[in-house]
């Protein structure tokens, strides 16, 4: 989903570099130019990028395992979260390791076919995350506005349809764009000039960049609108609870209030996840539009920073859950210590009803 990878930004129209310049493939015609780091920074970058990939893989694996193993966590909303974690997990396994080598070595060593597949995975998991977060925001809205009716409205079948839609649309859109070559329409001369051995050029024309941005902007607008309403309603509910002076009324509403507080806390946590997502992705999409209309002017190092901020978003959500959800911390402890392999461990109570 990247307009041009860091490799292509190091390649000029003249693909015959001076002898002193290092190449991705020595003694190979039309090899891309290599811009290597010195050993110290190189090792540091591998540690930083590698730790991000490891956190995305193991953190999201813990989220998925927790929700799928413990029966108390089997709810429509949590299945949406598990599916979101699956998308982030796949970013950590299929996207980040190869991008790490590309970013540090400034060369693509994994072949042309995998270049296209890698780009398709990149775009697919991005859109999948956006759609999941959008559905999660709508789920939280229903839960906060009417917590007692919510279980009957947001059922397992509704959750399943949201998950299926998110994955299907993301996969079909990303793979069809990159494998039909529609993204390169009108950019044939640029792609030809930048084609070299050891590169992974994925040029995206202005039309598709705008479509990309709309697929990001419209769900984002929905999320911002929904969460704004959620927090307004949450404030009203809090004031209403505080204003109750009649003890009988308090006793009558105790269960409803307890459910409402739990749903508001869940909405707050997921709202923070959405804010983290926006902070990570918005600069990248803005840069994509600027590049598409001004001729790919972003310096390589700026582009790489923006891309890795995006990738690190896949590692953020497990940290957010660990900070705000005691049940997640308890589940992780049970998983890490191997207690999940005990008989009937799936029925362990992680929180009070």
Give the right CATH number for 8-342 from 1.20.1070.10, 2.40.50.140, 1.10.287.1080, 3.40.50.300.
Answer: 1.20.1070.10
At residue 231, the pLDDT reads 78
pLDDT in tens, 105-158: 989 999 888 998 999 999 999 899 989 989 998 998 888 888 888 888 999 999
Burial (0-12, 13-18, 19+ Cβ within 10 Å), 276: middle
Is residue 296 predicted with pLDDT exceeding 90?
A: no
Task: Give residue 209's pLDDT.
Answer: 87
Rounded to an integer, the average pLDDT of 31-46 is 90
Asked if 265 contacts 292 with a C-beta cutoff of 8 angstroms, the reply is no
Q: What global pTM score does this model have?
A: 0.84
pLDDT of residue 82 exceeding 90, the answer is yes
Residue by residue, DSSP assigns 254-283 as HHHHHHHHHHHHHHHHHHHHHHHHHHHHHH
Residue ranges covered by each domain of the chain: 8-342
Contact criterion met (CB below 8 Å) for 123 and 174 = yes
pLDDT above 80 (res 335): yes
Confidence at 255, pLDDT banded by 50, 70, 90: low
pLDDT at 155: 93
Tokens 């000039």 — which residue?
193
**288: pLDDT strictly greater than 50:** yes
pLDDT band at 262 (very low <50, low <70, confident <90, very high): low
**In this model, does residue 178 exceed pLDDT 80?**
yes
For 28, how many CA atoms within 13 A lie in the half-sphere containing its CB?
13
At 191-239, the pLDDT tens digits run 777 788 888 877 788 888 888 889 989 998 998 898 888 878 877 766 6
pLDDT over threshold 70, residue 247: no
pLDDT of residue 304: 86
């Amino acid at each position: 989903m990247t307009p041009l990878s860091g490799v292509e930004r190091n390649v000029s129209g003249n693909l015959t570099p001076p002898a002193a310049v290092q190449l991705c493939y020595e003694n190979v015609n039309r090899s891309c130019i290599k811009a290597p780091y010195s050993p110290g920074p190189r090792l540091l970058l591998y540690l930083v990028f590698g730790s991000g990939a490891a956190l995305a893989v193991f953190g999201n694996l813990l989220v998925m395992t927790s929700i799928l193993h413990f029966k108390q966590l089997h709810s429509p909303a949590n299945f949406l979260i598990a599916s979101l974690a699956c998308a982030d997990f796949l970013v950590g396994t299929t996207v980040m390791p190869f991008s790490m080598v590309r970013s540090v070595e400034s060369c693509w060593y994994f072949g042309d076919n995998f270049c296209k597949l890698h780009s398709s995975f990149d775009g697919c998991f991005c859109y999948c995350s956006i759609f999941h977060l959008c559905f999660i925001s709508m789920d939280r809205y229903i839960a906060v506005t009417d917590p007692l009716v919510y279980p009957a409205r947001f059922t397992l079948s509704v959750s399943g349809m949201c998950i299926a839609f998110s994955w299907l649309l993301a996969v079909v859109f990303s793979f069809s764009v990159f494998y039909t070559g529609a993204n390169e329409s009108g950019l044939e001369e640029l792609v030809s000039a930048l084609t070299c051995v050891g590169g992974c050029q994925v040029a995206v024309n202005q039309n598709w960049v705008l479509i990309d941005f709309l697929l990001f902007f419209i769900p984002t607008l929905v999320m911002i609108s929904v969460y704004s309403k959620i927090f307004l309603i949450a404030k009203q509910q809090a004031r209403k609870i505080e204003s109750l002076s009649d003890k009988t009324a308090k006793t009558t509403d105790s269960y409803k209030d307890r459910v409402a507080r739990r749903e508001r806390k869940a909405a707050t946590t997921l709202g923070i996840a959405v804010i983290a997502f926006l902070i990570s992705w918005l600069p990248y999409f803005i840069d994509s539009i600027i590049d598409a209309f001004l001729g790919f002017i972003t310096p390589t190092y700026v582009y790489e920073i923006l891309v890795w901020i995006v990738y690190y978003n896949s590692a953020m959500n497990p940290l957010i859950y660990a900070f705000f959800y005691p049940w997640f911390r308890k589940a992780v402890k049970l998983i890490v210590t191997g207690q999940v392999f005990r008989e009937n461990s799936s029925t362990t109570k992680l929180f009070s009803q």
